Structure 1
Amino acid sequence: MATLQHTDELYHILEDEICALKILPGEALSENQLCKRFGVSRTPIRSVLQRLEQNRFVQIIPCKGTIVTTIDIGVVDQLIFQRVAVEGMVFRDFVQSCSPMEILALEHLYNMLLEAAAGRSDPENFDFNHFLSCDLAMHAYWFRKTSKEYLWEQMTRPQADYSRFIRLDIVGARNVSSVVSEHAEMLRILREKDLDAIEPLMRTHLYGGVSRMGSKIYSDEYRVYFKLPESNK
């Protein structure tokens, strides 16, 4: 019998696989196959699938089964808007209060990002999850130093639309160099206390995925990943 803790583990395994695009939008999740894979009965599997549906990762269709949701580009846009507004304010507070030692700490994190980006010349073996972790570590630093950890946790928890869009952006567009250069600009702003440059940079950086994907969102290759406005279908 699966314990509550075990059921929670099963949920996070499937959530992680959906976020990492190992399980693709539109893919069917079979209760029988999941029971066989995890060695559990239908009861915990159904509980996990219901929880995934509550968090927008899947849709359970009566008499048809469970289907992984597509990425709602409208939700992605709203979440980016929210993050631009919140992170712009947090970064501004950090720029005004940061110490020379904190800038050195961020420079170290930036160097780790550079190392992670070095593998982009070999797309097949590029570890984009590690690259994303290094990217997020810089952002997390100024949330932590301004005592805004709770906000950061809320904005970066696994999310059916935005989490997958970020990964699709890096895997599909391969434009790691622009992400790196934008983080370099963040360091410049810190060193020079250039407050006027914060909002334009945050908009460029956080909306960068939309710009990089561009018309690819509507291409035959990628449109299967997205729920698009009716007028664009």
Structure 2
Amino acid sequence: MAFRSRADEVYEQLKRDVADFQLVPGDRFTENEISERLGVSRTPVRQALFRLQQEGFVEVLFRAGWRVLPFDFDQFEQLYDLRMVLETTAIHRLCEGVVRVDHGLLDALAAIWLAPQAERSSDMAQVSQWDEEFHCQIVAAAGNAEMARVHREVTERIRIIRRLDFTQQMRIDATYDEHAKILKAVQRKRGDQAAMLMRAHIETSQAEVRKITLHQVHLARQGGYAPR
């Protein structure tokens, strides 16, 4: 098991805070506030914040602490485009015999997404987590480790915006329906159909992202989203 430093732990916690709307775009804070809240010294906090700064989550303010960066919607557009390329390519690899299909994985995904409507989860945080796992596992199953690595990085960058999508019940319902159609097409090795369905699914999410406002983020912090 890889060694995790205190700075690594702070870094992971602050990323969770952003993803769970405990820290939202525009929020300002100091290193002292973070170190007191997490019960650590300022050194690992500073190391974690510099790492988050490099990844585009926060910025340092001259003599005024730190700030969570506003959403960069142009960047989100580009990340969704990249995600579409990776996931549709993965679908084709799975359906066209480029890799050996892990039927256990498909069965596990089917147990969630092909469940009868009465057994579907309405837990926003749970469905959001399952959604991430669905897409990551599809890419990982395609057998290209570098594709999977890049896809995980994209997933982390868009996590907060995707979670906002799951504050609406209609979007949860649509995700179940769309994932089910994609899975059925993959199970039948209908690559073109599955890729077309995946593209439409991602494009719908991408369109929802364009509608997101900072007001929705603050509503999510006030209780519209309950992190696990």
Q: Who is 2:153 aligned against?
A: 157
CA RMSD of aligned residues (A): 3.2
Q: 1:180 aligns with which of 176, 187, 204?
A: 176
Conservation of the 8 A alpha-carbon contact between 2:91 and 2:195: no
* Aligned residue identity for 1:108: A
Alignment of 1:1-233 (within 5 A): 5-97=5-97, 102-103=102-103, 105-113=105-113, 118-120=120-122, 126-128=123-125, 130-157=126-153, 161-172=157-168, 174-213=170-209, 216-218=211-213, 221-222=215-216
Q: Which moved more, 1:53-62 or 1:134-143?
A: 134-143
Structure 1 unaligned segments of length 5 or more: list them. Answer: 121-125, 226-233
SS of corresponding position for 1:67? strand
SS of corresponding position for 2:162? helix
Count residues with an aligned counterpart.
215
Question: C-alpha distance in 1, partners of 2:24/2:69?
Answer: 9
Question: C-alpha distance in 2, partners of 1:155/1:109?
Answer: 18
Q: Who is 1:229 aligned against?
A: none
TM-score, scaled relative to structure 1 = 0.77
- Per-residue deviation, residues 54-77 of structure 1 (Å, max 9, x unmatched): 111111110222111122111111
SS of corresponding position for 2:215? coil
SS of corresponding position for 1:119? coil
- Per-residue deviation, residues 169-207 of structure 1 (Å, max 9, x unmatched): 112565111111111111221243333323432221112
Conservation of the 8 A alpha-carbon contact between 2:165 and 2:205: yes
TM-score, scaled relative to structure 2 = 0.79
Structure 2 unaligned segments of length 5 or more: list them. Answer: 220-228
Structure 1 residues 68 and 159, CA gap change in structure 2 (3 angstroms)? farther
Question: C-alpha distance in 1, partners of 2:31/2:5?
Answer: 19
* Aligned residue identity for 1:89: T
* Aligned residue identity for 2:203: Y
Structure 1 residues 96 and 112, CA gap change in structure 2 (3 angstroms)? same
Conservation of the 8 A alpha-carbon contact between 1:113 and 1:135: no
SS of corresponding position for 2:208? helix
Question: C-alpha distance in 1, partners of 2:101/2:156?
Answer: 37
Conservation of the 8 A alpha-carbon contact between 1:113 and 1:131: no
